[in-house]
Amino acid sequence: MKVHILLGPPGSGKGTQAQRLVEKFKLNHLSTGDILRDAVSKGTEIGLRAKAIMASGKLVDDDTVNGLVFARLRQGFEGDVLFDGYPRTLQQAEALGEFLSTQMIELGHVLSVAVPDGVLEARVVGRRVCSNCGAIYHVETKPPKQDGICDLCGSPLKHRSDDTAEAFRSRMAEFNATFQPLLGFYERKPNFRSVDGNLAPEQVFESLVKLFAECA
C-alpha cells in the first residue's frame, strides 16, 4: 500500500480530481475535510469541537487531524490511498512521514494543483455538493441538469457552510500561512510534481493521469 497526496488551495479542484483519480486508478479517497464534515453532521465529540472552527475557515488542530488519519490508516486499506486536504501544515507532513516509516507504508505521488488566487473565490462560492454521493457541481461552470438535484443519484445538493466569501478569505489566509513550509517539505521528494490547475477539469485530469503513470 502507498499513500499519494494532492495539495492545493481551497477550490483548486482537489476533490474534483480526486473523485476521478480514485475511479481511474482504483484508489481509496481520504479527504480530511469530508471526515470532519461527517463528524460534524453526526455530532461526535470531534465534530462538536470542529464545527465552528470549520465554518469560520480556520484549521482544526494538527493532533486531532493526525489522530483521525492515523486511526483510519491503522484499520488498513485494500490498495493505495489518495489524500485530499491532508497534510495541510508542516507539522502534519512531518508527523505523517514518521507514521508512514513506522508502519512501513510508502509515500507515492505528491501532486500540487496550482491555481492563481484570483479565480478561487468564485469557484468556492458557486460550489454545490451532493448530500448523498458527494459529487461536486458549480452553479455556473458545472450546473446539474435539474436545479439543486444531483445528476448521479437524484439527491439534493447542498452549499457547504464554509463556502461563503467571508469564510473563503479566512481559508485563504490559513492556506497562505501554511503552504510554503509544506511545499518546501515535499518539493524535495522524488515523486513531487506541480500541475496547472487553471485549465478545464478534463485537462487538469489528463496532466495528473500522465504524472501518475510517469513517476510510479
Catalytic site positions: 14, 88, 127, 160, 171
Decide if residue 4 touches ligand AP5 (CB under 6 A): no
Decide if residue 3 touches ligand AP5 (CB under 6 A): no
Decide if residue 15 touches Mg ion (CB under 5 A): yes
Q: How far is CA 161 from CA 1, 57, 184, in A?
A: 34, 9, 31
Q: Do the bridges between strand 28-31 and strand 81-84 make them parallel or antiparallel, or are there none, so unpaired? A: parallel
Decide if residue 13 touches ligand AP5 (CB under 6 A): yes
Helix axis angle for 32-42 and 62-75, nearest 10°, is: 100
Torsion, Cα of 68, 65, 22, 115 (10° steps): 180
The correct pick among 80, 135, 138, 192 for binding ligand AP5 (CB under 6 A) is 138
- What is the side-by-side order of every strand in the sheet holding 136-138? 136-138, 127-130, 157-158
Decide if residue 208 touches ligand AP5 (CB under 6 A): no
Residue nearest to ligand AP5 (CB): 33
- Smallest separation (angstroms) from ligand AP5 to the CB of 150: 13
Torsion, Cα of 176, 38, 47, 8 (10° steps): -10
Residue 4 binding target from Mg ion, ligand AP5, none, CB below 5 to 8 Å by type:
none
Q: How far is CA 34 from CA 2, 31, 53, 105, 119, in A?
A: 21, 5, 15, 23, 23
- Smallest separation (angstroms) from ligand AP5 to the CB of 6: 8
Residue 60 binding target from Mg ion, ligand AP5, none, CB below 5 to 8 Å by type:
ligand AP5
Decide if residue 172 touches ligand AP5 (CB under 6 A): no
Residue 25 is placed in which grid cell?
486508478
Binding mask 51-70 for ligand AP5 (x = CB under 6 A): --xx--xxxx----x-----
Q: How far is CA 59 from CA 72, 75, 88, 203, in A?
A: 20, 25, 9, 30
Residue 130 is placed in which grid cell?
451532493
Of the two residues 40 and 212, which places its CB atom closer to ligand AP5 in the complex? 40
Decide if residue 86 touches ligand AP5 (CB under 6 A): yes
Decide if residue 11 touches ligand AP5 (CB under 6 A): yes
Q: Which residues of the shown chain bind Mg ion in the complex (CB under 5 A)?
A: 15
